[in-house]
């Protein structure tokens, strides 16, 4: 069922993604879907979860903070622009905007772990005395991730390596001792 959902998300515009189509594609009765999920949004979210693998690997630590952040942000930007990820992300974002339950799940199951990974790398640098004492690591994480997410959402510019690096530059220069 989640596989069918994933396939359809990439095939049809999200507004046309019906529970009936998911059931048909999965060779399943509609009721079976409603038995396990309360809404289309919940199914879509679980499909995303499965896809993301839940693998919330920590950022690598090469010793070079700027390089580590840059490669993470570059990878994120590249991922977001892949058509399949893009479609998934749009779908889930639409649900987040309209269903607080999905939003909560998203924060707990995906957002928080991902941000914790970034924060962990920053904390290492902080502990090594590389960052200013007064820096708020959570804010710093959002200053890295927020601009990239903004470009994806609004299409306000190219989501390329140069942009990722530019964001790292500004954020890091603002945080380094």
Partner DNA sequence: ACTTAAACGAGACGGTACGTCCTGTCTTAAT
Partner DNA sequence: ATTAAGACAGGACGTACCGTCTCGTTTAAGT
Point out which residues bind a second copy (CB under 8 A).
Answer: 13-15, 90, 93-94, 96-98, 103, 106-107, 111, 115, 135-136, 138-140, 142-143, 145-151, 153-157, 163, 166-167, 169-175
Contact stretch for DNA (CB under 7 A) within 15-23, 70-78, 125-133, 140-148: 15-23
**Separation of first and last alpha carbons in the chain:** 51
The entry of DNA, a second copy, none near residue 145 (CB within 5 to 8 angstroms by kind) is a second copy
The entry of a second copy, DNA, none near residue 54 (CB within 5 to 8 angstroms by kind) is none
Name residues whose C-beta falls within 8 Å of residue 177's C-beta, 6 or more positions apart in sequence: 129, 130, 131, 132
The Cα–Cα gap between 119 and 102 comes to: 24
The Cα–Cα gap between 72 and 146 comes to: 14
The Cα–Cα gap between 15 and 118 comes to: 33
Q: Minimum Å distance from CB 86 to a second copy? A: 10
Question: With respect to a second copy, which residue has the nearer C-beta, 46 or 165?
Answer: 165
Within 10 A of 169 (CB to CB), how many other CB atoms are there? Answer: 13
What part of residues 17-46 is at the interface with DNA (CB under 7 A)?
18-21, 24, 27-32, 34-36, 39-40
| Residues in touch with DNA (CB under 7 A) | 16, 18-21, 24, 27-32, 34-36, 39-40
């Amino acid at each position: 069922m989640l596989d069918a959902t994933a396939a359809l998300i990439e095939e049809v515009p999200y507004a046309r993604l019906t529970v009936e189509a998911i059931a048909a594609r999965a060779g399943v009765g509609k009721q079976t879907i409603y038995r396990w999920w309360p809404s289309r949004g919940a199914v879509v979210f679980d499909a995303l979860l499965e896809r993301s693998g839940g693998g919330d690997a920590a950022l690598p630590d090469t010793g070079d903070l700027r390089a580590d952040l840059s490669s993470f942000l570059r990878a994120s930007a590249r991922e977001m622009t892949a058509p399949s990820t893009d479609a998934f992300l749009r779908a889930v974002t639409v649900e987040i905007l309209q269903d607080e339950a999905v939003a909560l799940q998203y924060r707990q199951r995906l957002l928080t772990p991902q941000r914790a990974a970034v924060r962990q790398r920053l904390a290492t640098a902080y502990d090594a005395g590389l960052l200013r004492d007064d820096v708020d690591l959570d804010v710093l994480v959002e200053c890295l991730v927020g601009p990239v997410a903004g470009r994806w959402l609004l299409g306000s510019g190219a989501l390329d390596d140069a942009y990722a690096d530019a964001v790292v530059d500004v954020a890091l220069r603002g945080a380094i001792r």
